[in-house]
C-alpha cells in the first residue's frame, strides 16, 4: 500500500466544512485506483470527536493533532503541525479546500515541503497512472491540466461545490491516530474572534445564492434579496460594483477579487456581468439573470434570463416561491 492520499479536514464552530467531504470523495476514488489509503488530518483543540464522520465519508485513517495553542487557526501553528506530519509520513497527495484558510495554509505547507501547488482545482482524476489536476485560467475562459510525474506530495486546493459529496456509509469507522504536536513559537496573536451570526449558509458552500449588483441602488434595497434568500434557504452575495458603492460588505463579494462560488443555482439581480464577476460564479450549475438591460453581458452566460425591473421581479419571485414551498406569511 502506498503512502496515502491526504485531506485536510477544515472545520468551523464544531462542524466539518462541506468541502472536506467533497475532497474525501475524490480522494477515495484515487486511493482505490492507486491501492493507497485515505487519511484525513484535523487540527485544533478538542476536535477528536469530529473524526467519526470522516470515516463515514471515506477516510481510512484520521490524524488528530490537538493542542490548546491550536484552538484558533494561525498560519504558524497550523503550518508547522501539518508540515511536520507530512514530512514524517511522506503522503502521495495532500488536498485542501480553496477557502480563505485552505489557501493560506496550502501555500505555507507547500513551501515547507518544497512541493508544487495547484490552486482552485475543479477536477481531480487519474490519467495514465498520474494524478491530474484541472483548473480554470483567464477568468474561466480556458482550463489547464497539471501533472506532477515525479514531485511528491502532489498538493492542490479544491474549489468548494464542484465535486459531489459521497454518500456516507453509516457505521464505517476510521482508525484514529492521536498525534503529539508542539506548535512552537506562533507569531500571530488572536486577540478576539468576532463571529457574524446568521441563519443563512456560508457563501462559498451555499447550494443557492442570490446576488445583487450596482442595479440594487442602495444597501437598504438588498433587503428584497435577503427575503428571497431566506425563502430559498440561500446565501446572499454581491458584485464588486455593489461592494465598492457601499451597498454590501466585502465578505459578500463574489468575483475575481472576492469569493469563488459554485452553487447549484445562482440568481444575479442587477448585475451587468463584468468578466471579474463571471470569474467568481461562472461554474454555477444554473444561472438566472434579472436585468432591465437586454444587452447586459450577464445574459450571455445565463441559463435563464428575465428582462425587467428587479424591484418588481424579485418580490414576485419571493411570493411565488413562498407559495410553492409552503412558506406563506401568516396574516
Cα separation, 287 vs 139, in Å, equals 17
Cα separation, 83 vs 85, in Å, equals 5
**Length in residues, the chain:** 331
Beta bridge partners of 267: 210, 288
Binding residues: 214, 239-240, 253-257, 270-277, 291
Binding residues for FAD: 214, 239-240, 253-257, 270-277, 291
Query: If you write DSSP's letter for every residue of 32-70 in order, what string do you get?
Result: HHHT--EEEEEEESS-GGGHHHHHHTT-SEEEEEE-GGG
Backbone angles phi, psi at 286, to 5 degrees: -130, 130
Cα separation, 45 vs 67, in Å, equals 5
Mark 105-127 as b/e (b = at least 16 C-beta within 10 Å).
Answer: bbbbbbeebebebbbbbbbbeee
Amino acid at each position: 500500500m502506498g503512502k496515502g492520499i491526504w485531506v485536510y479536514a477544515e472545520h468551523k464552530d464544531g462542524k466539518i466544512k462541506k468541502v472536506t467531504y467533497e475532497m474525501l470523495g475524490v480522494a477515495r476514488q484515487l486511493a482505490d485506483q492507486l491501492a493507497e489509503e485515505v487519511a484525513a488530518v484535523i487540527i485544533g483543540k478538542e476536535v477528536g470527536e469530529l473524526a467519526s464522520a470522516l470515516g463515514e465519508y471515506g477516510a481510512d485513517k484520521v490524524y488528530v493533532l490537538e493542542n490548546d495553542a491550536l484552538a484558533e487557526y494561525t498560519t504558524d501553528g497550523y503550518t508547522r503541525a501539518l508540515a511536520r506530519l507530512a514530512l514524517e509520513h511522506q503522503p502521495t497527495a495532500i488536498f485542501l479546500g480553496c477557502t480563505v484558510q485552505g489557501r493560506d495554509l496550502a501555500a505555507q505547507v507547500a513551501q515547507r515541503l518544497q512541493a508544487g501547488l495547484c490552486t482552485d482545482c475543479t477536477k481531480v482524476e487519474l490519467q495514465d497512472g498520474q494524478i491530474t489536476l484541472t483548473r480554470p485560467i483567464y477568468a474561466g475562459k480556458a482550463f489547464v491540466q497539471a501533472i506532477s510525474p515525479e514531485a511528491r506530495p502532489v498538493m492542490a486546493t479544491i474549489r468548494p461545490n464542484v465535486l459531489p459529496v459521497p454518500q456516507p456509509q453509516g457505521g464505517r469507522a476510521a482508525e484514529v491516530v492521536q498525534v503529539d504536536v508542539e506548535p512552537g513559537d506562533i507569531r500571530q496573536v488572536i486577540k478576539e474572534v468576532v463571529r457574524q451570526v446568521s441563519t443563512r449558509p456560508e457563501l462559498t458552500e451555499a447550494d443557492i445564492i442570490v446576488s445583487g449588483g450596482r442595479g440594487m441602488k442602495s444597501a437598504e434595497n438588498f433587503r428584497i434579496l435577503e427575503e428571497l434568500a431566506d425563502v430559498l434557504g440561500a446565501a446572499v452575495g454581491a458584485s464588486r460594483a455593489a461592494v465598492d458603492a457601499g451597498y454590501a460588505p466585502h465578505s459578500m463579494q463574489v468575483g475575481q477579487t472576492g469569493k469563488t462560488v459554485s452553487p447549484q443555482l445562482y440568481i444575479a439581480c442587477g448585475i451587468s456581468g463584468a468578466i471579474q464577476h463571471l470569474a467568481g460564479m461562472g461554474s454555477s450549475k444554473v444561472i438566472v439573470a434579472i436585468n432591465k438591460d437586454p444587452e447586459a453581458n450577464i445574459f450571455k452566460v445565463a441559463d435563464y434570463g428575465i428582462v425587467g425591473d428587479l424591484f418588481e421581479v424579485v418580490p414576485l419571485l419571493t411570493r411565488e416561491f413562498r407559495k410553492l414551498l409552503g412558506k406563506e406569511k401568516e396574516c
